A and B are shown apart, each in its own frame.
Chain A
């Protein structure tokens, strides 16, 4: 009898041990966000773990403020997670140059990743001719407006500078701010506006030429673009009423301002869709979106600036390289999973740049987001896209474009001097081979 019990218990222990150790762990350090984490756990980690028996994905969440540094420290020590998540291509470039990321060329060829991803997004992960990163999310900048307010007042959604200045005057006359937006809590917010003015005044072609070195940043067309931004920001106080208020207002504030008619419009990235839907939804007003107005005849009509939010790579020192590759391939092979998660965020997060059809967009997402996705696909598909600074600017010019813009707005230096310094930084970055991949224009 005792022998039987011992055998039975041993069999249970062995079977439990076997199942526990039969799956090898794959680690992923991900940016944390209280609203998003449970969805990633349920629909990504648990879904992947249930879908196969070989690997156990473990997502470790950490706020980006500390995660970026702890990731760098652990990578330097030859450790770090198996899947390396970075805030954008400039970080990928640093890790790739240091030999800390796995070359993904052979896996991309084996699993056909190139055919699954939007071409420009795929090429954003190609460094020195090889693939090192896959975008975890891609995004753009748009203009949101209070549709109900616009309809009540008979205002036309602006598409040109003249129309924009006209409607701005009417909005201000009503005692509201033209745009609500602010940089409190995230100083690089300035680059969103700089990018808008460069792309919609100078035009994407000129920006492309400057990124690739065919044109200087000191070109009058860029100077004029930033002079116009300075006029709207400092002299007109379009954003949150004044430059000082723009500096003092943060994410929650500007969403509240937009929802309560403190401002009529908002210039922001598509990552806001979920927050905007929730915020203004409670006020009873309806929101709309539009491409950013053309600010001169140079811009060549409406365009969408393209950008990569976060990226996914495989650690060259990964303990479970095969597992990490398997996770990435699972994501890219399961369009439904990506769409399901992205839908939970109103396509504001985890928008892996997979090639989608109209029929892929679920009916559960808001009509505004659906129309944006269709329009975005159409216009960028025609090759009419601009360039966001945080995706195509190397690290040092990338910081200069937002940090030192405050000096221009303060009137301490002229736009010409600012662009002269900017050009010098690009020259230095080019000399040190720090420039980032940029998709070719037709």
Chain B
């Protein structure tokens, strides 16, 4: 009894309800769905064990490989474009004393909107009849008359652009929070030494916000794996798999093709990849990196 009422265990008691909910809602279903990767389950009928057949088929699947490549591209795009813009804007915002809140709100606003709303706005904007497409056609610029979401060469980048447009405001806010925590004396000392704005950013701001910065990179890498909603709504993975990503591929197999076993194999690989990424960051932390 004394053992149970020990003070150090009290926090655990409060966490128990959440742990139970996670276990029943996420943990057990996840383990069960991972187990399905070794079956040919259609989602309804009998479950037959097929060993590693799904994985063998998967490694030979050209569209799965294409989806992986698109996820890698997506990750690279998000690790560069929104991060650079957000860093720059956050740094510039620290110099704005009046009206800063307006900019913060304006940048963050798309992040507060539902993905469906964001997507519809951009779809209408580039609509070939009612949107910019119609306008460009009317002034004779045929090259811009088609929607970038329906053009094979641009669909992935167009979807990434809309997702990035919604996401970068979030990065601005977290970078800005980090920048405000930097000791002002460091900047004053740099000013005395005659440092330029860029030098202050490079040698003071960036090192001081490193934990937040590395954290943002980690979440971008992890969030780029299950990217789904923007692709699904804007392009559906098309045209011709040109914007297909792994999560959308999983969805199609699980819920359209009645191929749940195969979809589970895709999910298992996604899970292993995320664990691998988290493991790398954990290892870096153990090695003394400030992240």
In the complex, residue of chain B having the shortest beta-carbon distance to the beta carbon of A187:
B236
Check if B44 sits within 8 Å of A248, measured CB to CB. Answer: no
Q: Which residues of A from 180 to 204 have beta carbons under 8 Å from B? A: 184, 187
Interface pair A396/B258, CB less than 8 Å apart: yes
Question: Given the complex, which residues of A lie within 8 Å of B256, measured CB to CB?
Answer: 399
A244 to B236, CA, bound (A): 14
Q: Which residues of A contact B150 (CB under 8 A)?
A: 184, 244-245, 247-248
CA distance A249 to B259 in the complex (A): 29
Within the complex, which residue of A76, A247, A257, A396 is in contact with B238, where a contact is CB–CB below 8 Å? A247
Question: Is the CB of A442 closer than 8 A to any CB of chain B?
Answer: no
Cα separation A190 to B274 with both chains bound (whole Å)? 36
CB distance from A187 to the nearest CB of B (A): 5
Among the listed A100, A245, A406, which residue makes an inter-chain contact with B128, where contact means beta carbons less than 8 Å apart? Answer: A245
Tell whether, in the assembled complex, residue A253 and residue B129 are in contact, meaning their CB atoms are under 8 Å apart.
Answer: yes
User: Contacts A248-B146, A399-B256, A412-B240: A72 and B44 contacting too (C-beta < 8 A)?
Assistant: yes
Name B's interface SS: loop
Query: Which residue of the partner chain B has the closest CB to A69?
Result: B255
Q: In the complex, which residues 402-421 of chain A have their Cβ closer than 8 Å to any Cβ of chain B?
A: 403, 406-407, 409-410, 412
Contact B240 A406 (CB under 8 A): yes
The 8 Å CB contact of B44, one of A94, A242, A247, A257, is A94
Report which of B151, B240, B259 forms a contact with A409, defined as CB distance below 8 A. Answer: B240
Q: Which of B42, B129, B151, B241 contacts A257 (CB 8 A)?
A: B129
Q: Interface residues of B toward A: which range?
A: 20 to 34
Say yes or no for B64: interface residue by CB 8 A criterion: no
Tell me if B43 is interfacial: C-beta within 8 Å of chain A. yes
Contact of B146 among A75, A184, A242, A403 (CB under 8 A): A242
CB-based nearest A residue for B148: A244
A97 contacts partner chain B, Cβ-Cβ < 8 Å? yes
CB proximity to B under 8 Å, residues A391-442? 395-396, 399, 403, 406-407, 409-410, 412
- Given the known interface contacts A244-B147, A248-B127, the answer about A410 and B44 at a Cβ–Cβ threshold of 8 Å is no
A98 sits at the interface (CB 8 A):
yes
CB proximity of B248 to chain A, nearest CB, Å:
11
Q: Nearest residue in B to A244 (C-beta to C-beta)?
A: B146
Given A248-B146, A248-B149, A406-B240, A98 contacting B255 (CB threshold 8 A): no
Determine if A95 is an interface residue (Cβ-Cβ < 8 Å).
Answer: yes
Q: Is B39 an interface residue (CB 8 A)?
A: no
The number of A-B residue pairs with CB atoms under 8 Å apart is 85
**Which of A248, A395, A407, A409 interacts with B257 by CB under 8 Å?**
A395
How long is the Cα–Cα vector from A395 to B42 in the complex, in angstroms? 10
Q: Does B140 contact A (CB under 8 A)?
A: no
Q: Does B22 contact A (CB under 8 A)?
A: no
Q: Is the CB of B242 within 8 A of A410?
A: yes
Question: A72 CA to B260 CA in the complex, in Å?
Answer: 13
**Nearest chain A CB to B144 CB, angstrom units:** 11
- Find the B residue at minimum CB distance from A257: B129
A85 to chain B, nearest CB (A): 16
Question: Which residue of the partner chain B has the closest CB to A403?
Answer: B252
User: A78–B212 Cα gap in the complex (Å)?
Assistant: 48
Closest to A65 in B: B255
CA distance A213 to B183 in the complex (A): 76
Q: Is the CB of B42 within 8 A of A94?
A: yes
**A247 nearest CB neighbor, chain B only:** B150
Residues in B neighbouring A244, C-beta threshold 8 A: 128, 146-147, 150-151, 239
CB pair A94 B149 closer than 8 Å:
no
Contact for B259 among A95, A262, A396, A407, CB less than 8 A = A396
Q: Which residues of A lie under 8 Å from residue B238 when comparing CB positions?
A: 187, 247, 403, 406
**A407-B241 in contact (CB<8A):** yes
Contacts of B119-170 to chain A: CB distance below 8 A: 123, 126-130, 133, 146-147, 149-152
- A72–B254 Cα gap in the complex (Å)? 12
User: Which residues, 203 to 250 on B, are CB-close (under 8 Å) to A?
Assistant: 236, 238-242
Q: How far is it, in angstroms, between the C-alpha of A47 and the C-alpha of B241 when the chains are bound?
A: 48
- Report the bound CA distance from A409 to B150 in whole Å: 12
User: Does B45 lie at the interface of the complex (its beta carbon under 8 Å from any beta carbon of A)?
Assistant: yes
Separation of A69 and B258 alpha carbons in the complex (Å): 11
Residue of A nearest to B130 (CB): A253
Which residues of chain B have C-beta atoms less than 8 A from A242's C-beta? 146
Q: Is the CB of A95 within 8 A of B44?
A: yes
A75 adjacent to B44 (CB under 8 Å): yes
Q: Cβ of A72 and Cβ of B242 under 8 Å apart?
A: no
- CB under 8 Å from chain B, chain A span 225-273: 240-245, 247-249, 253, 257, 262
Shortest beta-carbon distance from A442 to chain B in Å: 33
Name the residue on B nearest A412 (C-beta).
B240
Complex alpha-carbon distance, A290 and B162, angstroms: 42
Q: Nearest CB to that of B256 among chain A residues?
A: A399
* Beta-carbon contact of B45 and A97 below 8 Å: yes
Q: Which residues of A contact B43 (CB under 8 A)?
A: 72, 94
Flag if A98 contacts B239 (CB, 8 Å). no
Query: What is the bound-complex CA distance between A72 and B43, given in angstroms?
Result: 8
Nearest CB on A from B121, distance (A): 15
**Given A395-B257, A396-B258, A410-B242, residue A100 in contact with residue B149 (CB < 8 A):** no
B231: shortest Cβ distance to chain A, in Å?
13
A248 and B150 CA atoms in complex are apart in Å by 6
Residue of A nearest to B238 (CB): A406
Q: A94-B43, A245-B128, A409-B239 are in contact. List 12 more A-B contacts (CB 8 A).
A: A72-B43, A94-B42, A94-B44, A97-B44, A98-B46, A100-B44, A244-B128, A245-B146, A249-B128, A253-B127, A399-B252, A406-B241
A-B contact pairs, 29 of them (CB 8 A): A69-B255, A76-B44, A90-B258, A94-B42, A94-B43, A94-B44, A97-B42, A97-B45, A97-B46, A98-B44, A98-B45, A100-B44, A187-B236, A241-B128, A244-B150, A245-B128, A247-B238, A247-B239, A248-B127, A248-B147, A249-B128, A249-B129, A395-B42, A396-B258, A406-B238, A406-B239, A409-B240, A410-B152, A410-B242
B residues engaging A (CB < 8 A)?
A: 42-46, 123, 126-130, 133, 146-147, 149-152, 236, 238-242, 252, 255-259
Q: Which 10 A-B pairs have the closest CB atoms?
A: A410-B240, A247-B150, A244-B146, A98-B45, A406-B240, A98-B44, A248-B147, A97-B45, A395-B258, A248-B150
